[in-house]
């Protein structure tokens, strides 16, 4: 039975969940804080115990950001593994994935969500994998790249940096061979936001004047930024995206997994729509670890790795090679077995 539809910002346009229609969605760990976004209502509902499983969408981190902020498990599968119809207006950066209270629940969800749908021309061939088989096989012997900044993140919260370093040591104790190494690419923020802003203008053109008049000011700002891009600009961004994908395919030939923090900061204050001038940095600069793997389409998950001194969840990101969804789940389950996921106190 479906419990209901949870809140998102308009068109999933940002990493916090607020809008003129629904107001501010709040984080069960601290109701002064945002649950993140765009699947913020999903994250808040799961964290609060309203339901054990939910579906999220992820175009630049929108499953992983709120899962990290709310202390849940969230998986962005390999692109095409979970069919979607209609195709997102944000194109081939948009993924559907499970958002759950446990890794096992996510594996069970993947067994259902991966079923083929011929309406999605980007979907992968039928997948015979049972994601629960081998889930508890551990990570002994796996080659793990540990990158605390991806080589460019400058403002990682010190408690998050320390918690992720400790988590990596846990993976090492579980038998993984860990090497501190950056994957060797520059921050692709401008690729992500350029493609995103252009897609926002496509959505805008489908709205009536009456709908445009009441649109979220943050979405309107994205549309205005998108209008500055030409077709030539978009093609150049697409080619740069392809080069990044090629680079990471080659990098992952040397490693089974890449580990990073999930988000550079803990959950921040829940504020109304339009509370700041929207720029690429304001939109995604605080989550530098999430959006690269929408561009590359690799599977990536977030799993809680501790609480800040203020009692807010922190997340560890596990990135796998393309189509390595089962391996990502297996590694997350190994970590979860060593460090069970905490739940918020709701008394």
Domain edges within the chain: 10-184+244-338
pLDDT at 3: 78
pLDDT in tens, 102-130: 999 999 999 999 999 999 999 999 999 99
Quote the distance between the C-alpha of residue 286 and its chain's center.
13
What does the block give as tokens for 165?
């370093």
Residue 185 confidence class, pLDDT cut points 50, 70, 90: very high
Asked whether the bond before 340 is cis by omega within 30 degrees of 0, the reply is: no
Are the CB atoms for 177 and 245 separated by under 8 Å?
Answer: no
Instruction: Return d(Cα 182, Cα 251) in angstroms, integer.
Output: 10
What does the block give as tokens for 94?
């948009």
Asked whether the bond before 86 is cis by omega within 30 degrees of 0, the reply is: yes
pLDDT at 346: 56
Q: Which residue has the tokens 């629904």?
A: 22
pLDDT in tens, 245-276: 999 999 999 999 999 999 999 999 999 999 99
Q: What is the largest CA-CA distance in the chain?
A: 59
What does the block give as tokens for 251?
């990098």
Are the CB atoms for 24 and 227 separated by under 8 Å?
Answer: no
Report the top-level CATH class of 10-184+244-338. Answer: alpha beta
pLDDT in tens, 1-36: 677 899 999 999 999 999 999 999 999 999 999 999
Residue 342 confidence class, pLDDT cut points 50, 70, 90: confident
């Amino acid at each position: 039975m479906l419990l209901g539809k949870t809140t998102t910002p308009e068109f999933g346009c940002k990493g916090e969940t607020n809008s003129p229609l629904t107001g501010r969605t709040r984080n069960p760990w601290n109701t002064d804080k945002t649950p993140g976004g765009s699947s913020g209502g999903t994250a808040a509902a799961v964290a609060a115990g309203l339901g054990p499983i939910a579906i999220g969408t992820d175009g630049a981190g929108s499953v992983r950001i709120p899962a990290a902020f709310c202390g849940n498990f969230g998986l962005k599968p390999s692109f095409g593994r979970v069919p979607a119809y209609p195709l997102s207006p944000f194109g081939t950066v948009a993924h559907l994935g499970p958002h759950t209270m446990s890794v096992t629940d996510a594996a069970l969800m993947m067994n259902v969500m991966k079923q083929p749908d011929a309406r999605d021309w980007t979907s992968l061939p039928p997948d015979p994998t049972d994601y629960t088989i081998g889930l508890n096989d551990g990570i002994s012997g796996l080659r793990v790249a540990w990158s605390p900044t991806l080589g460019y993140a400058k403002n990682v919260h010190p408690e998050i940096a320390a918690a992720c370093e400790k988590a990596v040591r846990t993976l090492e104790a579980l038998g993984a061979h860990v090497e501190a190494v950056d994957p060797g690419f520059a921050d692709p923020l401008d690729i992500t936001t350029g493609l995103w802003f252009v897609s926002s203008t496509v959505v805008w053109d489908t709205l009536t004047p009456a709908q445009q008049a009441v649109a979220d000011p943050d979405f309107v700002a994205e549309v205005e930024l998108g209008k500055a891009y030409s077709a030539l600009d978009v093609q150049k961004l697409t080619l740069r995206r392809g080069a990044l994908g090629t680079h990471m395919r080659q990098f992952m030939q040397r490693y089974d997994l890449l580990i990073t923090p999930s988000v550079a900061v803990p959950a921040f204050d829940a504020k109304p729509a339009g509370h700041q001038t929207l720029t690429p940095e304001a939109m995604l600069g605080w989550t530098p670890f999430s959006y690269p793997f929408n561009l590359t389409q690799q599977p990536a998950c977030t799993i809680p790795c501790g609480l800040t001194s203020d009692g807010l969840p922190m997340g560890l990101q596990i990135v796998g090679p393309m189509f390595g969804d089962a391996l990502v789940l297996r590694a997350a389950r190994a970590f979860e077995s060593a460090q069970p996921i905490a739940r918020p106190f709701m008394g």
